Amino acid sequence: MAEELNEEFTEGLLLRPLPDRRVLAHFHFQSSVPPTRTYGRHHHLFPKSIYQLINKFRVREMELSFTQGRWNYEHWGGYDPISSSNAKPPGVELWADFDVSLDQVDASWKNLTHALSGLFCASINFLEHSTSYSAPQWSFRSFAGKLRYGTLPREAVCTENLTPWLKLLPCRDKAGLSALMDRPSIYRGYYHSQRLHLTSDEFDTAKSNSGIMLEQTLTVVLQPNTLGDRAMVSGKTLQPSWSLSSLFGRKVHGKCSVSKSSNVYVQFEPNLVSELKEVWESVESESGILIHDAFWNNPIFEISASPDRVVKEVGNLQKEVSSILYEFLVEDYNDSKPFDLGLRWKLPVVWSCKQAPLHASRFLMGSGNERGAIAISLRSSSNNNTQRVGCSEKGSQLRIDIFQVVPWYVKVYYHTLKVFIDGELQSTMENIEKMHLSPSEDKVSPGVMEMKLRLPCSVKTAVLTLEFDKGFLHIDEYPPDANQGFDIPSAVVSFTGFQASIGFEDNFLNKLPILNELQERKHVISYTEVLLVPLTTPDFSMPYNVITITCTVFALYFGSLLNALRRRVGEEERLLKSKAAKKRGPLSSMLSKLSAKLKGSPLEPSPTPSTSPSFINYKLIVKVILVAGMAAGGQYYFR
Amino acid sequence: MDVLFKSAAVLISIFLLLFCNAIPSVAYSSSSTMHTNNWAVLVCTSRFWFNYRHMANTLSLYRTVKRLGIPDERIILMLADDMACNARNKYPAQVFNNENHRLNLYGDNVEVDYRGYEVTVENFMRVLTGRHETAVPRSKRLLSDEGSHILLYMTGHGGDEFLKFQDSEELQSHDLADAVKQMKEKRRFKELLIMVDTCQAATLFSQLQSPGVLAIGSSMKGENSYSHHLDSDVGVSVVDRFTFYTLAYFERLNMYDNASLSSLFNSYNPNLLMSTAYYRTDLYGRQLEEVPVTNFFGSVMETIHTDSPYRAFSGKYSKIEIPLDQSDEVKQRRLKSSDVPQELTGSNITDKHVTCPVTRTWNAILGRIGMMKELDSLVNYGLILMFLIATGSSWFSS
């Protein structure tokens, strides 16, 4: 108990060759802190921002993942702990379980999304709207009522998300295994998923709290640089050789000094191990060298460093072969002697990964912009060995949980659910053990489907179809690239009754978190594809065009109508005439009248051009009057 | 009697204080505040891969202001699309602004505050005016104050009096002017430099009317802003001309340089830009020759010296400091730039909390009165005066 009262940080890296000439690298970092009640609030290793997050929003458990690329279940495996917990849907996935009263969960969720968006430089705050998250009842994780789940399938993942994630580590990316994370190398990969998983029992009043645990993993699938040496041996291509420096462009210069353990593992899957044994037997049959399990120096491959330990999987009774882990301790290396693990193949090997019981995929059916259907297909994997694990007795059944969230503008009609098994339509309720539906509400909440399926063990294919209508969004609600289509988040298919875990012989190993992660018993989970639904998009310039054209037509119509109605031709002519008459002015007309009287000739209106002489007259008269006035004034004054 | 007078005086001073607070724009004078911090808002408004250059423009500016000393928490970076990890990018997690690929703008430590669909006119206005929802984290807010110098850089596609955001909405010159006016009234900046690299950028400034605003645009009305060159490896143009030559200017500078804004403005050659750079300086009170570019592109920080650790802050010790005070250059800069010493002397004597000049003079008068010896006689005279006025006014009214 006394030793647990300290903060701990461990780091680990697991490397695994994949059958399709690629390499899986899985970084695992774990920080833990004892509960505040006994340990206080000052931390040496644990990131403060995460601690504040937990305390402010009372998070009991949370998982946030940023993923780009799609996990290839067929080639990279679907039945091992890494694929079950680290194969994530593209974009951002966030779920959190809160320790607050039921009516405050939504508010906490909203604030949490904003805080995370600030922390990780991502638009996680789009998950605050009730249309984008859901509250699964039982299928996703078994937390009643206080769990919220949301995904952003189109969120970009890049350096700006990885850097704050690395800043949570005590050594950042400056020392230890995280120093390998060269951004261009990681983002050049076929798949990368960074995950942050938090568990805390800070708010449990119960006796033995374990405090807060922060688990950070980065899973990358990389293509070793094989330009030039695509070597062929006896007609088959060799698997590419790789080393840490060729994968990441960097080497490990010692461990992060505050981490408790810093190990690198190379894992060979059971299928690969059995393949290796076969190849070795065929090669060495004549020389008669004893084949031992812990081989690491052999004619098939070569590891550049000698492993500090070889760990074997145990506890898998069904199988005769089990996976092998080579352990390397980074603490023995330093700047002058950097750690650069390499794997070189000498003979070609071909193997395949262990598959999930059924391969899940999802696709769209139908055409046109009005309606369509979603189909979830479960296809039996090519090798049927795996199924026998769960179907040991005759007549037992496969249990499958499906959890699917569909945005409101894809209006799914759940009554149209059809189940086809091996191509034949089944009566629906026969195979469905339990179902929970919450239909979508326009602009309020998404449609959620949770379903527990029961399928016979001998099933080859099972297909579920659901029909839907495509809704209309308000013109303001379309994103700027609406023509690209809209994403329906991945469905989660979990095979309850199948557990992916690797047990190890040594109990001592339980102390190492990265191996703990492999040992943890979890359901086999796979995510389906993200669906891209094209919706009817309006012509976004249409309102503008309509307004302009309508206004023009109206203006022309009303303008000409008013003109026609109001115009009086006779009146206008009269008005023009009177204007012409008026132009001469009252004084000049009076003057002309006066002059006419003086001359004795009859009054006649002078023509318009002759106004100028009369104008001169007028000025003259004013001058005369002015002079006369002045004279009169002078006379009066001098008198 | 004495008490009565004093209470009246207090009442009047309170009234004056209220008056001051009610109309801040009247009482507020920018010269009285110190330049205490620097902020930068860098906006790339274009979506889609072929607009790579706009993101490269913005990231180049981001790198420049970071290099010249503005810390990441004081930079609001808005990028409308993801270019670095775009599937079309041959160089994942890297963005280049030159075909020689010598400089990776994306680096290891880029902090993008608004990205993708978040870059909207609404969010842009919210950042400028500071009207956020309560849940929005600090890293997404522009937390500037009345001593802030803000650099606002925008790039994208624009036209006559508007700038397009994400190809779906527009920021109009009126919107920008209103936001800036609101910022001024909320005392969110002391000086603001708006730099815009779009077609017809000058038209975006036509409605601005707030004092302390300086604007540079890449082109006049009716002119286009062109890209500088195409990178055949990336497949698109990687930088715009205006930004390219701005960067070329800044690459020669370091944090302690004294180059003035006018030298920046004069560095633009219309033949190289293929457009005419436009400056609007009529709202900006100072001579551009005297203002170093680091006023906007660099950073000052206020450091508060305390005698002992963990004491309450005391305003007396506040002093302006340039980060990493390395003796020679700093002194030189202080001497040359006219504003800094003036601010230094002007600030620490008078009470910092009362900025309203009316209250300040009134307080001074009150202080004088307090010093006087013959208070009683003054009170008596005052009473007689009051009596006279009262009788006079009643006589007039009757």
Give the type of residue at A280.
W
pLDDT of B387 above 90:
no
Question: Above 70 in pLDDT, residue A273?
Answer: yes
Structure tokens that stand for A243 in this block:
């080393």
> From the list A68, A158, A480, which residue is nearest B167 (CB)?
A480
Contact B93 A540 (CB under 8 A): no
Confidence of residue B41 (pLDDT cuts 50, 70, 90): very high
Q: Count of CB contacts below 8 A, A vs B?
A: 87
Give B-chain residues touching A121 at CB under 8 angstroms.
111-113, 115
User: What's residue B339's pLDDT?
Assistant: 40
| Residue B56, phi then psi, degrees to nearest 5 | -65, -40
Search chain B and give the residue with CA nearest A69: B87
* Minimal C-alpha gap between A123 and chain B (Å): 7
Integer Cα distance of B11 and B18 in angstroms:
11
Chain B residue with minimum CA distance to A53 = B137
- CB-nearest partner of A159 from B108, B113, B139: B108
Residue B78: Cβ within 10 Å count: 24
Going from the C-alpha of A210 to that of each of A204, A245, A372, A461, B374, the distances in angstroms are 10, 38, 50, 44, 77
Q: How far apart are CA B204 and CA B216, in angstroms?
A: 10
Interface of B with A in 100-119 (CB under 8 A): 106-113, 115-118
B199 noted as active-site residue: yes
Average pLDDT over residues A524-546: 87
> What angle is formed at CA A142 by the lines to CA A139 and CA A145, rounded to 5 degrees?
95
Which residues from A are below 8 Å from B95, CB to CB?
Answer: none
- Is A149:A95 a contact under the CB 8 Å cutoff? yes
Confidence band (pLDDT; 50, 70, 90) for A160? very high
* Strand-strand pairing, A503-504 and A309-314: antiparallel
Report phi then psi at A506, rounded to 5: -90, 125
Cα angle vertex A172, ends A166, A173, to 5°?
90
Residue for token digits 């909440």? A445
Amino acid letter, A49: S
Å between A111 CA and nearest CA of chain B: 5
pLDDT at A206 over 80: no
pLDDT over threshold 90, residue B368: no
pLDDT of residue A245 exceeding 70, the answer is yes
Q: Which residue type is seen at B105? A: L
Contact between B116 and A128 using a beta-carbon 8 Å cutoff: no
* pLDDT tens sequence across B121-154: 999 999 999 999 999 999 999 999 988 999 999 9
Query: Angle formed by the axes of helices B2-22 and B357-371, to 10°?
Result: 170
Neighbours of A84 (CB within 10 A): 23
CA torsion through residues A44, A46, A48, A54, sign:
negative
Reply yes or no on whether B356 is catalytic: no
Residue in A202, A194, A190, A156 with CA at minimum distance from that of residue A46: A202
Which residue of chain B is at minimal alpha-carbon distance from A482?
Answer: B168
Give pLDDT tens digits for A66-109: 999 999 998 898 888 888 888 999 999 999 999 888 899 999 99
- The pLDDT value recorded for residue A192 is 93
Contacts of A163 in chain B (CB under 8 A): 108-111
For residue A368, give both structure tokens: 């046109």
Do residues A334 and A255 make contact, with C-beta atoms less than 8 angstroms apart?
no
Main-chain dihedrals φ then ψ at residue A107, nearest 5 degrees: -65, -40
CB atoms near residue A272 (< 10 Å) = 23
Residue A628 to residue A630: CA distance in whole angstroms: 5
Burial class of residue B330, CB neighbours in 10 A (0-12, 13-18, 19+): middle
pLDDT at position A398 is 85
- What pLDDT does B343 receive? 39
> Which of A159, A182, A474, A477 to mutate to test binding with chain B, by most B CBs within 10 Å of its CB?
A159
Q: Which of B48, B116, B137 sits opposite A156 (nearest CB)?
A: B116
Please name the amino acid found at residue A153.
P
User: Above 80 in pLDDT, residue B76?
Assistant: yes
Q: Is the dihedral of CA A67, A68, A73, A75 positive or negative?
A: negative
- Closest-CA residue of chain A to B140: A118
* Of A118, A173, A481, Cβ closest to residue B137: A118
Closest CA to A242 of A173, A308, A302: A302
The minimal CB distance from B92 to the residues A111, A128, A184 is found for: A184
Q: What is the pLDDT of residues A384-429, one digit of tens each?
A: 554 445 555 555 788 899 999 999 999 999 999 999 998 888 887 7
Question: Other CB atoms closer than 10 Å to residue A92's CB: what's the count?
Answer: 28
Three-class secondary structure assignment of A474-488? CHHHCCCCHHHCEEE
Contact flag A158-B118 (C-beta cutoff 8 Å)? no
Distance CA B214, CA B153 (A): 12
Scanning B164-193 for CB atoms below 8 A from A yields 166-168
Written as six digits, the tokens of B237 are 């143009």
The per-residue pLDDT for A238 is 83
User: How far is the C-alpha of B287 from the C-alpha of B285, rounded, in Å?
Assistant: 7
Q: Write down the catalytic residue from B199, B229, B305, B356.
A: B199
Residue pair A21/A240 in contact (Cβ under 8 Å)? The answer is yes
pLDDT category of residue B345 using cuts at 50, 70 and 90: very low
Task: Give residues with Cβ within 8 angstroms of A452, minimum separation 6.
Answer: A139, A399, A400, A401, A432, A433, A434, A435
B270-to-B98, B237, B241, B250, B274 alpha-carbon distances in Å: 21, 20, 10, 18, 6
Q: Are A172 and A183 in contact (CB under 8 A)?
A: no
Candidates A123, A173, A184; nearest CB to B116: A123
Of the residues A158, A173, A221, A478, the best mutation for testing chain B's interface (the one with the most B CB atoms within 10 Å of its CB) is A158
* Sheet architecture: strand order including B158-159: B158-159, B162-165, B169-172
pLDDT in tens, A489-523: 999 999 887 877 777 766 655 677 788 788 777 88
**DSSP string over B141-181:** S----TTEEEEEEEES-EETTEEEETTTEEEEHHHHHHHHH
Query: Distance between alpha carbon B18 and the CA centroid of its chain, in Å?
Result: 27
Contacts of B110 in chain A (CB under 8 A): 159-160, 163
Interface membership of B136 toward A (CB under 8 Å): yes
Tell me how long chain B is.
Answer: 398
Instruction: Give the Cα separation of B324 and A400 in Å (integer).
Output: 63
Q: Per this entry, what is the length of chain A?
A: 639
Q: Which residues contact A624 (CB under 8 A, 6 or more apart)?
A: none
